[in-house]
Chain A
């Protein structure tokens, strides 16, 4: 029983990571209107910038992480402006396929610059704590903590600030938002920065709790897609719930089936969801 509970706990951690990784993805999906496959690669970009500064140049971890996140946000903005904006009028399918191209380019660049193989951050080993017979490391707690913090900040941002409200308006109905005087370009810019920044944060988390290899992004994309689709077009809250469901399902399933199938559990959850309730956990259907 404790083993199951332990898996559930790890599942919560995985879930929190997935929430961080997917919020940005959901954001671009709702505001920009397409599934950005390259989003997963941004996690890798951030993770490796952090590694480069930390293990490579000897910087302490926090400045490395901050620089990585900011850099990732800017890179994401650049790609959004240069690659996606000109082709958005061609429809979500074209942009989806183009984003696969972007993913290829980023992955190729990372492989070229960094080579293959596993890298590790130059940080102290994880300390494990025990609560009620369950184990959790300090880094895992950081992930959970940051996810909670991000969730709250994001909720405040989206509900209280001008840009945040603009983003919400645009994700609900772009034409209406534009006609009501919302600066579409600026909101779009903000969305890219925010979304890529969040991917950057998730990438740093990944570097902290997982093993860093240059393939890492590809392995995440299935899970991110899973959470995003399960969450549907709803608010932040559905992403949180979806993330936790997928995370826990994935890790708890290890109790019964080989760990190699973990990512596929994520996807089975989604395929079933798509067939049974295409709008996911949210209440909304895209108009």
Chain B
């Protein structure tokens, strides 16, 4: 019974955390019409920013150059800013590119960030990463740390969902929908396409930065391996699974995927080989899910339009 509770808690914690990413992806893609294959970059920017800002200054054998030793909430804010900065930097020149090309440039930028983190040891110790990342004292209300962090992740997810929902229900959201539906017609009524797209792109990156900070707090470790393209594709698969029509669907899809992975990880494997095969099976199943779901339930954003009532 204890394992079920553990698994449940982990699903809640990481499911909520990654739901923030999926929600942002949903905003960018399903509503904004922009394909972003570089989601992990904002996550990494946030996590690393948090780690660097809260880390002690380097000493001894440390290879990293900067540690500001600030309190955790400063780090948290810095994470959001870092993600936003990365989005501004990489979004500004590329957002006018067509769908598939935008996908590729965002992907490339994410790979570039990863490469920078690996090769420039001054940033974060390269592949070794930064360990013992500072985290706030979570033993409040007598609850265990894990529970508190799970609740924090859940709260972040709710806050993000609420913020996006409010944005999309406003006239702003209406304009965003119009642009996604028909750019030419939107221009004919004076909508500044480039500006609105850019804003959506940048805004949706901020919660991802926060999620990165929270992730760093939970794992107390940041290194480039944690932030590979796999994360981006994981979130994409979650989006495909949950469908993009409702925010609830997005969250459930993410939770389900995290749950699926956790269950497989919980199975005790007798050999390294068996574990390898299980990991491969995970990939195969998620790939198949991807294909099957897209075929029978493609995004309304790209396939057919809003169905007649």
Q: Could you list which residues of chain A lie within 8 angstroms of chain B, going by C-beta atoms?
A: 34-35, 83, 86-87, 90-94, 96-98, 100-109, 111-112, 115-116, 218, 222, 225, 229, 258, 260-261, 263-264, 267-268, 270-271, 274-275, 278
Contact B294 A109 (CB under 8 A): no
Residues of chain B at interface, number, CB under 8 A: 43
Contact B294 A101 (CB under 8 A): yes
List B residues 256-299 near A (Cβ within 8 Å). 273, 276-277, 279-284, 286-291, 294-295, 298-299
| 5 further A-B pairs in the complex, CB-CB below 8 A; given A97-B236, A275-B94 | A91-B302, A106-B287, A225-B104, A260-B119, A270-B108
Q: A87-B294, A92-B100, A225-B104 are in contact. Are A102 and B303 (CB under 8 A)?
A: no
Query: B82-123 vs A: 1/0 string, CB under 8 Å?
Result: 000000000001100101110111011001100100110000
Contact B295 A35 (CB under 8 A): no
List, in ascending order, chain B residues with CB within 8 A of A91's CB: 302-303
- Any A CB within 8 A of the CB of B214: no
List, in ascending order, chain B residues with CB within 8 A of A106's CB: 287
List, in ascending order, chain A residues with CB within 8 A of B236's CB: 97, 100
- Which residue from B99, B280, B303 sits with its C-beta under 8 Å from A109? B280
Q: Could you list which residues of chain B lie within 8 angstroms of chain A, going by C-beta atoms?
A: 35, 93-94, 97, 99-101, 103-105, 107-108, 111-112, 115, 118-119, 229, 233, 236-237, 240, 273, 276-277, 279-284, 286-291, 294-295, 298-299, 302-303
- Which residue from B104, B105, B276, B295 sits with its C-beta under 8 Å from A116? B276
Q: How far, in whole Å, are A110 and B295 apart by their CA atoms in the complex? A: 24
Write the nearest CB–CB distance from A128 to chain B, whole angstroms: 29
- Which residue from B229, B277, B279, B283 sits with its C-beta under 8 Å from A105? B283
List, in ascending order, chain B residues with CB within 8 A of A268's CB: 112
List, in ascending order, chain B residues with CB within 8 A of A278's CB: 97, 101
Contact A222 B108 (CB under 8 A): yes
Chain A CB within 10 A, most for which of B108, B279, B282, B295: B108
- Which residue from A87, A108, A274 sits with its C-beta under 8 Å from B101? A274
- Which residue from B93, B101, B119, B284 sits with its C-beta under 8 Å from A112? B284
| Closest partner residue, chain B, to A112 (CB atom) | B280
List, in ascending order, chain B residues with CB within 8 A of A112's CB: 276-277, 280-281, 284
List, in ascending order, chain B residues with CB within 8 A of A107's CB: 283, 287
Contact A111 B276 (CB under 8 A): yes
Q: A93-B302, A94-B302 are in contact. Are A274 and B97 (CB under 8 A)?
A: yes
List, in ascending order, chain A residues with CB within 8 A of B282's CB: 108
| Closest partner residue, chain B, to A79 (CB atom) | B291
Contact A93 B284 (CB under 8 A): no
Write the nearest CB–CB distance from A41 to chain B, whole angstroms: 10
Chain B CB within 10 A, most for which of A100, A103, A268: A100
Chain B CB within 10 A, most for which of A104, A260, A264: A104
Contact A101 B288 (CB under 8 A): yes
Q: How far, in whole Å, are A112 and B277 apart by their CA atoms in the complex? A: 5
List, in ascending order, chain B residues with CB within 8 A of A258's CB: 119
Q: How far, in whole Å, are A100 and B286 apart by their CA atoms in the complex? A: 10
Q: A97-B290, A104-B233, A258-B119 are in contact. Are A115 and B273 (CB under 8 A)?
A: yes
Contact A98 B294 (CB under 8 A): yes
- Can you list 26 contacts pairing A with B, beta carbon distance less than 8 Å? A83-B291, A86-B295, A87-B294, A90-B294, A90-B298, A94-B298, A94-B299, A96-B100, A97-B236, A98-B290, A98-B291, A100-B233, A101-B286, A101-B288, A101-B294, A102-B291, A104-B290, A108-B280, A109-B280, A263-B111, A263-B115, A264-B115, A267-B112, A270-B108, A271-B108, A275-B94
